[in-house]
């Protein structure tokens, strides 16, 4: 039996009928067609599916879709302002902080959450905060450079 879920995603009210065993990740991708959020491990280890739920960074694979009822969800689709990229996205491009790109939406969502909580992180703080976002291509160096540069850019703005 399907369950009705009403939630807010990137500021817009969204309604859908989902299988109650579906994760929030499954609901976003399969029921709502919002495929910006990626599935990596499906077990909360890789961070590819990171979203912000009621102000907390979470792995959407570790949340049931029904738990999103009444919550406010922020996904990668809400990071850019229409065709205007967010500074974090610009810095990821500028520093070539991606190769295959599967981890990128999760890293950008997590970086945004990091800078909201700690606008001026040290490199060590950034590395610890982002330890739950795995990247198998870059070796992280370019990602951290992009994150630190984005933090500086936000500070100056």
Partner 1 sequence: MVAVTYHAPTSLDEAVALLSSSELPAKVLAGGTDLIIQMQKLVTEQRLIVDLKKIDGMQSATLSDEGLTLGPSLCCAKLTRRDDIKAVFPGLVEAAYLIGSSQVQGRASVGGNLCNASPAADTIPALIANRAVCQIVGKAGERSVPVESFVVGVGKNCLEPDEILKAIVIPHPGKATSDAYLRFIPRTEMDIAVASAGASISLDSDGICTDARVAIGAVAPTALVVEEAAQKLIGQPINEAALEAVSQAASDASAPISDRRGTAEFRRHVVGVLAKRAVMAAADRAKEK
Counting contacts by CB under 8 A, is residue 132 touching partner 1? Answer: yes
Counting contacts by CB under 8 A, is residue 92 touching partner 1? Answer: no
Stretch that binds partner 1, among 19-27, 32-40, 80-88, 142-150 (CB under 8 A): 19-27
Counting contacts by CB under 8 A, is residue 130 touching partner 1? Answer: yes
Size of interface with partner 1, in residues (CB under 8 A)? 32
Counting contacts by CB under 8 A, is residue 62 touching partner 1? Answer: yes
Tell which one of 9, 32, 34, 59 touches partner 1 (CB under 8 A): 59
Cα separation, 88 vs 153, whole angstroms: 9
Residue 88 is inside which H or E element, if any?
helix 87-94
Q: What is the closest distance, in whole angstroms, from the C-beta atom of residue 86 to partner 1 in the complex?
A: 19
Structure tokens at 146: 């992009």
Q: 63-72: buried (b, 16+ CB within 10 Å) or exposed (e) per residue? A: bbbbbbeebe
Counting contacts by CB under 8 A, is residue 37 touching partner 1? Answer: no
Counting contacts by CB under 8 A, is residue 45 touching partner 1? Answer: yes
List of long-range contacts for 28-35, beta carbons under 8 Å, 24+ apart: 28/60, 28/73, 28/75, 31/65, 34/9, 34/75, 34/77
Tell which one of 114, 135, 150, 151 touches partner 1 (CB under 8 A): 114
């Amino acid at each position: 039996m399907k369950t009705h879920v009403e939630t807010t995603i990137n500021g817009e009210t969204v309604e859908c009928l989902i299988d109650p065993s579906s994760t929030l990740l499954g609901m976003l991708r399969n029921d709502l067609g919002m495929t910006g959020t990626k599935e990596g491990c499906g077990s909360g280890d890789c961070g590819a599916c990171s979203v912000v739920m009621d102000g907390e960074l979470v792995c959407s694979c570790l949340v049931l879709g029904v738990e999103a009822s009444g919550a406010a969800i922020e996904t990668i689709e809400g990071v850019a302002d229409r065709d205007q990229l967010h500074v974090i996205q610009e810095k990821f491009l500028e520093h070539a902080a991606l190769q295959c790109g599967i981890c990128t939406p999760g890293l950008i969502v997590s970086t945004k959450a990091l800078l909201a909580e700690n606008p001026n992180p040290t490199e060590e703080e950034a590395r610890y905060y982002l330890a739950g976002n795995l990247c198998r291509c870059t070796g992280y160096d370019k990602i951290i450079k992009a994150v630190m540069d984005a933090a500086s850019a936000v500070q100056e703005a």
